[in-house]
Structure 1
């Protein structure tokens, strides 16, 4: 009795959800007969095709041949729910499945939305901010893609489609099961999985997703610094042309190096007030951002746990007060933390490139690291070794 009662509730719930889908604009998807598909099915799956055809014919024969009902009652029995169910199952077998994502696509980018913030007022984990960046990236890609060519949903053994001309945005689309959408122009699939409390997971799949990701992340900057961590845009108080002439000349050299090299590390040093931090912000805004670099500004705590996202092609990392982080490992202070080793691994690319995830987007990244310090004397000698730091400049004039 308990099982029957539960099944009844489940059936009522399914009917309500189907009704909600229809009310919100979804329509049953009619599967069309494809003679070429049917011919291939009959040739390549002959035994199964014959068995299912025989079973369907037996079902109709049983209904039409009942002796305890009149002929017209048997005829009405053909339209019964059970008979229609068997006919629909056979029709779904002999017709092609609706288009669905090709999971052989290697480039995959996924996000949960909205991102939940399980943090206190005193600390924001790096993972939250990086997940927020990924969420922004996926949602921006969807804005660029615009209206898809097809939107489908499979629920309770039925296929539904949403008329694309009625599509407004993804937030207003009713999702009770897995939703698939496709853009033929870009050969990109979107898969939406519903979670509890209105949360969803969006997954983009394509053969070449990188160009859209680059476009979606244009002008983005990330500051990782405890509770002040945020995703936003680069702000620069002073244009490059307002800096002293020798700094502008060094900036020209830097710009050429950025264009010529895939990986570049720069150290600028000088007394406080000589404009080192302001210069890094100006370079980020006027040179790196127009070239498509996503800017990451890391504080002391963020350095230790930061790993560059693999789906970004161009990354700039700004590290201020590097002489307080990458200190000489011969000193007692440096031995009490691992920030020096982590900065070295960022410069070398060894930490995050030693093991590559098989899923997701694996870009051949271009990396620019801008570091400021008051003096290079406290830096670990390995930092300044040739091949790690490409350009060094001293700021001598009072600027700020």
Structure 2
């Protein structure tokens, strides 16, 4: 009896879910006959088609030829669930399946939403903010894509579709099993998988997602600073034109280098109050953001844990007080607390580019690193080696 109760509960749950789908706008998907597809089946799978046709005819012959029942009962038997199920299997064999993603789409970007923050030894706020950035990127891409061409869901051995003309947003789509959506204009797929407590995973799949991601991440900035990490926008209090003329001229040089080089590292140094940090914010807001760069502001704690997201094409990293991080390793004090190797690996790309994950998106990245320090004397000589830092400038006048 206990087993029967569980089975009945499962059946009731399936019926309730099916009713929920129908009541929330989903409709059963009916496969259309495609002559070209049927021709492929006929010529390339003749034996299987013949066998299935004979089996279907046999089912109908059995249904109509029962001797213990009257003729009208046999006719009703033709419309029974069993016979109708066999006809559906045959129809599914000779008609094309609903469109689903395949392995051609190698660029994959996914996120769980809403992102939950867990602070522990293995999950620090930096991880949360980078995951939040990825969530924002995926959701912004979906907003750009707008209404898809098709939305399908398979549940309880049936295919369902959601009428796209009734689509409002993804939050209102009832997701019981995996949902697929497709945009033919961009040749991009969306897969939605449901989790517990209303959480979902959104996965985008396409041949080329760069343009959409660049649009979705426009004007974003990320501050990675221990427990104060967050995603937002760059806020510059001082426009570039308010800086002294010599710094404006240097800014023109930096701008030209940004346009010409795929990787650029700039160090500005000077006494406190000369406007170094304000200048990096102004360059980020007025030059880099309009060019499509995503801005990352890293503090001392974030340096050791930061890896540039591979799905971003243009990245700017701002590191303030670099002389306290990349101290000369020849000094004894630098042996105990310095992040020199991590900064060097960011400049070289040797750490995060040594192993490439082929399952995700691998952009040909453009990287700009802006560093400020009070003096270059404490910097490790390897930092200033040719090929790592391209431009160095001293701020002399009190500004802030």
Question: Which residue number in structure 2 is paired with residue 368 of structure 1?
Answer: 368
Q: How does 1:187-226 map to 2 (within 5 A)?
A: 187-226=187-226
Structure 1 stretches of at least 4 aligned residues deviating more than 4 Å after TM superposition:
none
In the alignment, structure 1 residue 7 sits paired with structure 2 residue 10: no
Question: Which residue number in structure 1 is paired with residue 233 of structure 2?
Answer: 233
After superposition, what is the alpha-carbon deviation per residue over 1:209-264, rounded to whole angstroms, capped at 9, x for unaligned? 10000010000000001221100001001001111111111001000000000000
CA-based RMSD: 1.2
5+ residue gaps, structure 2, are none
After superposition, what is the alpha-carbon deviation per residue over 1:86-133, rounded to whole angstroms, capped at 9, x for unaligned? 11111111110011113321111111111111127xx95211100000
Q: Quick check: 2:27–2:161 contact (8 Å CA) kept in 1?
A: yes
- 1:63 is displaced (CA, Å) by 1.4
Question: Which residue number in structure 2 is paired with residue 19 of structure 1?
Answer: 19
Question: Which residue number in structure 2 is paired with residue 149 of structure 1?
Answer: 149
Mapped to 1, the partners of 2:96 and 2:219 lie a distance apart of: 44
Q: How does 1:1-400 map to 2 (within 5 A)?
A: 1-119=1-119, 124-337=124-337, 339-400=339-400
Mapped to 2, the partners of 1:169 and 1:331 lie a distance apart of: 58
After superposition, what is the alpha-carbon deviation per residue over 1:352-400, rounded to whole angstroms, capped at 9, x for unaligned? 1111111111000000000000011111000000110000000110011
Mapped to 2, the partners of 1:217 and 1:160 lie a distance apart of: 33
Moved more, 321-330 or 46-55: 46-55
Mapped to 2, the partners of 1:214 and 1:45 lie a distance apart of: 45
Moved more, 143-152 or 40-49: 40-49
Mapped to 2, the partners of 1:300 and 1:269 lie a distance apart of: 18
Mapped to 1, the partners of 2:208 and 2:141 lie a distance apart of: 13
What TM-score do the two structures reach when normalised by structure 2?
A: 0.97
Q: Secondary structure at the residue paired with 1:87?
A: helix
Q: Quick check: 2:218–2:289 contact (8 Å CA) kept in 1?
A: yes
Mapped to 1, the partners of 2:45 and 2:7 lie a distance apart of: 35
After superposition, what is the alpha-carbon deviation per residue over 1:271-303, rounded to whole angstroms, capped at 9, x for unaligned? 111110000000000000000000000000000
Mapped to 2, the partners of 1:36 and 1:183 lie a distance apart of: 23
- 1:334 is displaced (CA, Å) by 2.2
5+ residue gaps, structure 1, are none
- 1:337 is displaced (CA, Å) by 4.2
Q: Quick check: 2:327–2:338 contact (8 Å CA) kept in 1?
A: no
Q: Secondary structure at the residue paired with 1:165?
A: helix
After superposition, what is the alpha-carbon deviation per residue over 1:300-330, rounded to whole angstroms, capped at 9, x for unaligned? 0000010000000000000000000001112
After superposition, what is the alpha-carbon deviation per residue over 1:174-203, rounded to whole angstroms, capped at 9, x for unaligned? 010111111111111111111111111111
Mapped to 1, the partners of 2:90 and 2:18 lie a distance apart of: 22
- 1:2 is displaced (CA, Å) by 4.1
Matched residues, number: 398
Mapped to 2, the partners of 1:211 and 1:381 lie a distance apart of: 39
- 1:7 is displaced (CA, Å) by 2.4
After superposition, what is the alpha-carbon deviation per residue over 1:50-76, rounded to whole angstroms, capped at 9, x for unaligned? 222222222111111111111111111
- 1:35 is displaced (CA, Å) by 1.8
- 1:336 is displaced (CA, Å) by 2.3
- 1:268 is displaced (CA, Å) by 0.4
What TM-score do the two structures reach when normalised by structure 1?
A: 0.97
Mapped to 2, the partners of 1:49 and 1:92 lie a distance apart of: 12
Q: Secondary structure at the residue paired with 1:296?
A: strand
Mapped to 1, the partners of 2:45 and 2:5 lie a distance apart of: 40
